[in-house]
Structure 1
Amino acid sequence: MGKESLRDHLDGNELDLSLSNLTKVPVKELAALPKATRLDLSCNQLTSLPDNFCTLTHIVKIDLSNNSLTCLPENIGNLQNLQHLDLLDNQLEHLPISFANLRNLRWLDLKDNDNLDKDLKRVAGDCLDDKQCRECAKRVVAYMSAIQTELETQKLKKLEKEKKKAAAREKKQEALRKEKQVQKQLERQKKTEEYEAAMAAKRRKEEKKERKNAKAAGQKANGVQHTPVKTKSGSSCLVVFITLCVTLVALGLGIYFFCESDKANALCVDLQWVIDTVVTTTKERTQQLRDKIASYM
């Protein structure tokens, strides 16, 4: 059905497309006729309305009675200027939540929708006259608004619950991250302490080794310096002692034999005194040498 053929059904601001055997609504053509604010689509074969039907926001009255509609577009609330809606004798089961946005709706008929939700049917009530249809529009919009508010409340609660769960998960993850960080810090600290302990033990071991080596070196040095000295000193003294003894013995024998042959010789007398003095002195020196040798031994 073209635009020109639609004009044939236009009378002022009312477009009558009833009894036209329509199975689809010519939305594009209707949008081209903004003067047609009252649309009659009754007594056709419509089972549904396209989503773009709700772009016809200039329409204030729609008659969809005596069709086979099972549902309305979810965005029907976009028809902000709609004041009159006739849905008599269809197969509707429920109304979209956005129906609550039809704030300008003043007249509604939902009779003879046998499959309509019982609560919604109860709220709608009878629409036997103009007054009842006006009350029906008022009650149904209020009812759908309450449902919309409840759904939004539930949605907000759900979002809040999910937000809390997300926050709890984030908090738990943050706690786990902090726990891992603390664990890593403890592990690093433990490794550092173990390393420092190992280095300290190594240093103590090296210091102990150095002290031991120093002690051994000192003992070796003491052995080299003193023992040979003692031996050398003792040997020298012994040689001197033996030499002196031999000399004295030889001298004594010579004097003895000389004086035996000439006892009256004044020299022998003097020598005898000298010999006695030397013998005494020699005994004293010998004793001193023995004491000295004994101290080194």
Structure 2
Amino acid sequence: MSKSSKVLNLKDKINGNEVDLSLCNLTEVPVRELALFTKATVVDLSCNNITSLPPEFCNLTHLVKVDLSKNQLTCLPDDLGNLTSLQHLDLYNNKLTVLPVSFSQLRSLKWLDLKDNPLEADLAKAAGDCLDEKQCKQCASKVLQHMRELQDEVDRVREKRLLREKELERKREVKQREREAKEKEARKREKAEEKEKRRKEYNAQKAAMAAREQQKKKSEEKKKKNGLAAADKKAAEKTAAKPRRSLIGLLFKLLLLLLMGLAGVAAACRLTDLQKEAMCVPVNIAVDDGLSWAKEQEGVVRQLVQNMSSAAKEFLESTQASKT
């Protein structure tokens, strides 16, 4: 059967605002076709073999009265509460045990029949009997109240779950932050240790260089000190020898000057007109006596001169040896 024939047949079932699909041996609800007739607010689907309602059934928000009695329904769609215009719902003689929590959102529901369903005890107690109009209205009111309590409980459970999840998430975030803080601290500590290691290595290298420089300096100072000591020793020896030579030379010079002076005075008193002067008389006498004595001591003088020449020669040789 094509879609057009379905629509044609459904149109034949419409009478005013009512659609009568009872006793049609249906196994599913023709939701798409019903959605085309928004003015048909009353739908009779009783006495069929419908086992479930498709989720799209909840989009038929124009429905006011629905009869699903004497079918094989085992459950209703979770979004049944979207049928906000629904006032009359007949679920008599099905296989329902529970109702969806969203059932509590059917604010317009005034009439409900749940007889002959294997309902759970609490739901069956809330539904009660539906033997007349009054009882069916009470059923709608009490079931809505019962479903609102279930909805509140579900909301509380969901809220607790959300709070628990938030708390778990918060704890995970705290643990994550603690772990990140520990990792950061560990990295910071590693960097500090690495820096301290490099600083110690640098200080060790610097200390080694300083020690080498100090050793080198000490070695140079030692060499310099040894050199200075040798130089001081040599200078001391040179200085000690020099005064000795200087003193002997000075004595020779003084003696030579004295002899030259005496010779000069003797020559002046002997060869010039000063020989008649009173001061030259003793000089001339001394010269004459000296010449007489020299003649007498000629051999002694010659020996003395020889001895002095030998002494002078030895002195010169010793001086040259000390220089080398």
The yes-or-no answer on 1:128 pairing with 2:157 is: no
The equivalent residue for 2:178 is: 175
CA distance in 2, matches of 1:53, 1:127: 25
SS in 2 for 1:148: helix
SS in 2 for 1:43: coil
Q: CA deviation at 1:215?
A: 2.2
Amino acid at match of 1:195: R
CA distance in 2, matches of 1:20, 1:191: 87
The equivalent residue for 2:216 is: 213
Of 108, 114, 125, the residue aligned with 2:112 is: 108
Of 81, 96, 114, the residue aligned with 1:77 is: 81
Please list the CA deviations of residues 103-123 of structure 1 after superposition, one character each: whole Å capped at 9, or x if unmatched: 10000000011x211110110
Please list the CA deviations of residues 140-189 of structure 1 after superposition, one character each: whole Å capped at 9, or x if unmatched: 11111111121111111111111111111111111121112122222222
Aligned residues, how many?
A: 257
Please list the CA deviations of residues 190-215 of structure 1 after superposition, one character each: whole Å capped at 9, or x if unmatched: 22223222322322232232222222
CA distance in 1, matches of 2:235, 2:297: 40
CA distance in 1, matches of 2:133, 2:214: 119
Please list the CA deviations of residues 63-115 of structure 1 after superposition, one character each: whole Å capped at 9, or x if unmatched: 111111111122111111000011111111111111111110000000011x2
Q: CA deviation at 1:27?
A: 1.6
SS in 1 for 2:107: coil
The equivalent residue for 2:53 is: 49
Q: Which runs of 5+ in 1 are unaligned?
A: 249-261, 287-292
The equivalent residue for 1:32 is: 36
Amino acid at match of 2:202: M
Q: CA deviation at 1:49?
A: 1.6
TM-score by length of 2: 0.71
Amino acid at match of 1:18: S
The equivalent residue for 2:277 is: none
Greater shift, 200-209 or 61-70, is seen at 200-209
The yes-or-no answer on 1:19 pairing with 2:23 is: yes
CA distance in 2, matches of 1:58, 1:234: 138
Amino acid at match of 2:179: L
Higher RCO (C-alpha under 8 Å, 6+ residues apart): 1
The yes-or-no answer on 1:227 pairing with 2:230 is: yes
The equivalent residue for 2:72 is: 68
The equivalent residue for 1:197 is: 200
CA distance in 1, matches of 2:37, 2:235: 143
How big is the alpha-carbon RMSD for the aligned residues of Structure 1 and Structure 2? 3.2
The equivalent residue for 2:144 is: 141
Specify whether residues 122 and 202 from structure 1 end up closer, same or farther in structure 2 by C-alpha distance, changes over 3 A only.
same
CA distance in 2, matches of 1:117, 1:130: 23
CA distance in 2, matches of 1:218, 1:267: 69
Specify whether residues 266 and 220 from structure 1 end up closer, same or farther in structure 2 by C-alpha distance, changes over 3 A only.
farther
The equivalent residue for 1:157 is: 160
CA distance in 2, matches of 1:6, 1:230: 141
Q: CA deviation at 1:267?
A: 9.4
Greater shift, 99-108 or 201-210, is seen at 201-210
CA distance in 1, matches of 2:297, 2:64: 179
CA distance in 2, matches of 1:232, 1:67: 140
Greater shift, 76-85 or 12-21, is seen at 12-21
